[in-house]
Chain A
Amino acid sequence: MRVKLDGDKVRNDRIKKVEEISCQSVYRCYQCGKCSAACPATPEMDMLPNQVIRYLQLGMDEKVFAANTPWICASCLQCMSVCPKGVDLARIMEAIRMLQLRKGKNEIEIRKFPKEYLEKAPQIAFISGYRKFLSLS
């Protein structure tokens, strides 16, 4: 794939905000790919976890914000456990979600859950799901 770099976009305000909320520098990552190898959710993702960081390094945050990857991350912390550079990628995913949720985007619709599902599923599934996917949580 052809990648066109734009000097004005590298380290732009939105990427700085991601770094601020996550308390992680995207430039620590040297693209070894261990996070993507360890991630159990990649089959459902349209962008690999290491690519999320790479695009942020290159100032191509719009690609990352359009990807489903941050929404598929289950915060299981496999990525941060294996990272040789100590990057907590789960926090970066959370920051990308947060920046969208704080603008009022809802990722799930509570009313869509069938009644029998509500009766079966444990509270923690809903509470943590709401915290991750709803704007007012």
Chain B
Amino acid sequence: MNYQYFPGCTLYTKGKSLDEAGKRAGEKLGFTLEEMPYWTCCGATFPLAEDYDMALASPTRVLARGRKAGEKLVTLCAVCHNVLKRTNHVMKTNPERRAKVTDFIEEPYGGDLDVIHYLEVLRDEVGFENLAAKVEKPLAGLKVAPFYGCLLLRPKAEMAMDDPDNPSIFEDLLRALGAEPVDYPMKAECCGAFQVVHSDAMATRCSREIIDSARARGAEMLVTACPLCQFNIEERQGEMAKGEQGFKGLPVLYFTQLLALALGEPAEAMDVSRNHTDPRPALQARGL
């Protein structure tokens, strides 16, 4: 099985481990992520101003080209997923804006590409039961806090992936891998997002609250699907440690890294060079 795949800018560089582990895990599960032809940046943020049609040009071009090549497009980065899926919603439901944008990019597009997230491939196409049967190295009860953040779930009507108030897709995946999902109140909170380039105090405090909340429920690590969350919650730990003696960090991994590990990939293949808090001791303690 081949899936048309949109990696996005960050998965080519700073978020490589999300991409590489996702591809390797896919091969183990019997599907290939095939990069779509001629993709461009999605814009990295969905324009909330109703009159800002220009910002829809780039994601719409991605969607139009994706539709030429197939009916489905798989994404991994939560940011790209949010932008492409919401743009698709505008193209589907707003004929006036669709006409303006498609005239500008000189490519027709009717909003009929199915944008799905890798997590949805696992849940809806592979199936968590089938996935569990393919696990070679169960995660030995590792206590993992799934971090959804904002972009995967909201707005509910447009993202339509899971319930923003009580999501379960990450928990179900973690259970299939043999880990123990940790339930904690901050799992769908904001990590500070792009505010990290503007108000790093806000990003540091928000990330800190997420770490504290997960740790209080016994989490040994956090997983996410978003390179921006990964960066904020990992990178800000340096800042947190400065202000506090004896601060203990919490490793933040991409869900694909744990997935690949459970499917038999060696732990050494997991690139942790960008992690501020090394996840390896927590894994080794569980014999992984």
Contact in complex: B201, A124 (CB < 8 Å): no
In the complex, residue of chain A having the shortest beta-carbon distance to the beta carbon of B196: A125
Q: Which of B54-74 contact A (CB under 8 A)?
A: 55
B284 contacts partner chain A, Cβ-Cβ < 8 Å: no
The residue that B197 contacts in the complex, of A21, A43, A81, A125, with Cβ under 8 A, is A125
Q: How far is the CA of A51 from the CA of B194 in the complex (A)?
A: 23
In the complex, residue of chain A having the shortest beta-carbon distance to the beta carbon of B155: A77
| Surface stretch bound by A, among B37-45, B106-114, B214-222 | B37-45
What residues on B are CB-neighbors of A5 within 8 Å? none
Contact in complex: B228, A124 (CB < 8 Å): yes
Contact in complex: A122, B231 (CB < 8 Å): yes
Contact in complex: B41, A41 (CB < 8 Å): no
Contact in complex: B197, A22 (CB < 8 Å): no
B250 contacts partner chain A, Cβ-Cβ < 8 Å: no
B259 contacts partner chain A, Cβ-Cβ < 8 Å: no
Contact in complex: B154, A41 (CB < 8 Å): no
What residues on B are CB-neighbors of A93 within 8 Å? 48
In the complex, residue of chain B having the shortest beta-carbon distance to the beta carbon of A77: B154
What residues on A are CB-neighbors of B142 within 8 Å? none
Contact in complex: B48, A94 (CB < 8 Å): yes
| Surface stretch bound by B, among A8-16, A27-35, A58-66, A126-134 | A126-134
Total residues of chain A contacting the partner, CB 8 A: 40
Contact in complex: A127, B48 (CB < 8 Å): no
Contact in complex: A108, B197 (CB < 8 Å): yes
Q: How far is the CA of A131 from the CA of B52 in the complex (A)?
A: 11
Q: How far is the CA of A121 from the CA of B230 in the complex (A)?
A: 10
A74 contacts partner chain B, Cβ-Cβ < 8 Å: yes
Contact in complex: B155, A128 (CB < 8 Å): no
Q: Given A81-B154, A123-B9, A123-B44, are A72 and B227 also a contact pair (CB < 8 Å)?
A: no
Minimum C-beta distance from A38 to chain B (A)? 10
The residue that B50 contacts in the complex, of A71, A91, A107, A132, with Cβ under 8 A, is A91
What residues on A are CB-neighbors of B49 within 8 Å? 21-22, 91, 94-95, 98
What residues on A are CB-neighbors of B197 within 8 Å? 108, 113, 121, 125-126, 129, 133
B20 contacts partner chain A, Cβ-Cβ < 8 Å: no
In the complex, residue of chain B having the shortest beta-carbon distance to the beta carbon of A121: B231
A37 contacts partner chain B, Cβ-Cβ < 8 Å: no
Q: Given A21-B51, A76-B154, A95-B49, are A132 and B201 also a contact pair (CB < 8 Å)?
A: no
A25 contacts partner chain B, Cβ-Cβ < 8 Å: no
The residue that B206 contacts in the complex, of A40, A108, A121, A129, with Cβ under 8 A, is A40
Contact in complex: A80, B155 (CB < 8 Å): yes
Q: Which residues does B use to contact A, with CB under 8 Å?
A: 8-10, 13-15, 41, 43-45, 47-52, 55, 77, 79, 149-150, 154-156, 164-165, 189-190, 192-199, 201-202, 205-206, 209, 227-228, 230-231, 235, 274
**Smallest CB-CB A-B distances: 8 pairs:** A129-B197, A76-B190, A127-B44, A76-B150, A94-B48, A128-B45, A128-B194, A77-B154
Q: Which residues does A use to contact B, with CB under 8 Å?
A: 20-23, 40-41, 43-44, 71-72, 74-78, 80-81, 88, 90-91, 93-95, 98, 107-108, 113, 120-129, 131-133
